[in-house]
Amino acid sequence: MSNKPWFTFFSALLLTATSLIGIAQDKVNKIHWMSVEEAVAATQKEPRKIMVDVYTQWCGPCKMMAAQTFTHPDVVNYMNEKYYCVKFDAESGDSVRFDGKTFKNPEFKKGATGRNSVHELTMYWGVSAYPTLLFFDETAKAIAPITGFQSVENFEIFAKVFAQNDYKTIQTQEDWANYQKNFVRTWNATTAPEKKTGPSPLQESFDPIDTIAPHSSQNPSAQEETILDIAEVNPEYIGDVNKDIAKNVVYPDRCKEEGIQGTVYVQFVVNKVGNVEDVKILRGVKGGAELEIAAIQAVRKLGKFKPAMQNGETVKCRMTVPIKFALQ
7 within some domain: no
Same domain, 86 and 162: yes
Last residue of a domain, one of 212, 228, 244: 228
Residue 208, pLDDT score: 46
Number of structural domains, the chain?
2
CA pseudo-torsion sign 33, 39, 41, 44: positive
138 within some domain: yes
46 within some domain: yes
194 within some domain: yes
Same domain, 85 and 157: yes
Residue 189, pLDDT score: 61
5 within some domain: no
DSSP reduced 3-state for 229: coil
Give the mean pLDDT of 86-111: 91
Give the mean pLDDT of 294-317: 92
pLDDT in tens, 17-42: 444 544 444 445 799 999 999 999 99
In DSSP notation, 141-204 reads -EEEEEES---HHHHHHHHHHHHTTGGGG--SHHHHHHHHHHPBP-S--SS-TT--BS--HHHH
Same domain, 205 and 81: yes
Q: What is the CATH classification number for the domain harbouring 258?
A: 3.30.2420.10
Distance between CA atoms of residues 79 and 27, nearest Å: 12
* Mean pLDDT, all residues of the chain: 81
pLDDT in tens, 220-278: 333 446 888 888 899 999 999 999 999 999 898 888 888 999 999 898 999 999 999 88
Give the mean pLDDT of 150-155: 91
323 pLDDT tier (thresholds 50, 70, 90): very high
Last residue of a domain, one of 206, 228, 250: 228
Same domain, 103 and 42: yes
Same domain, 274 and 223: no
| Residue 116 domain boundaries | 31-228
Residue 225, pLDDT score: 61
By mean pLDDT, which of 11-15, 142-146, 193-197, 319-323 is the weakest? 193-197
Residue 186, pLDDT score: 93
37 within some domain: yes
Distance between CA atoms of residues 211 and 220, nearest Å: 16
pLDDT in tens, 193-219: 344 444 443 343 334 444 444 333 333
pLDDT in tens, 99-141: 888 888 888 988 887 788 888 888 888 787 889 999 999 999 9
Same domain, 152 and 240: no
Cβ distance 113 to 79 under 8 Å? no
Asked if residue 3 has pLDDT above 80, the reply is no
Same domain, 201 and 268: no
Same domain, 132 and 197: yes
Q: What is the CATH classification number for the domain harbouring 151?
A: 3.40.30.10
Same domain, 223 and 248: no
Give the mean pLDDT of 272-296: 85
88 within some domain: yes
Pick from 320, 266, 305, 323: nearest CA to 123: 320
Residue 78, pLDDT score: 97
Asked if residue 174 has pLDDT above 70, the reply is yes
Distance between CA atoms of residues 265 and 285, nearest Å: 9
289 within some domain: yes
Last residue of a domain, one of 211, 228, 245: 228
Give the mean pLDDT of 273-302: 86
Distance between CA atoms of residues 85 and 51, nearest Å: 5
Same domain, 61 and 137: yes
Which element (helix H / strand E) includes 27? helix 4-29
Same domain, 219 and 282: no
> Which pTM does this prediction carry?
0.58
Residue 87, pLDDT score: 97
Cβ distance 285 to 260 under 8 Å? yes
Same domain, 153 and 241: no
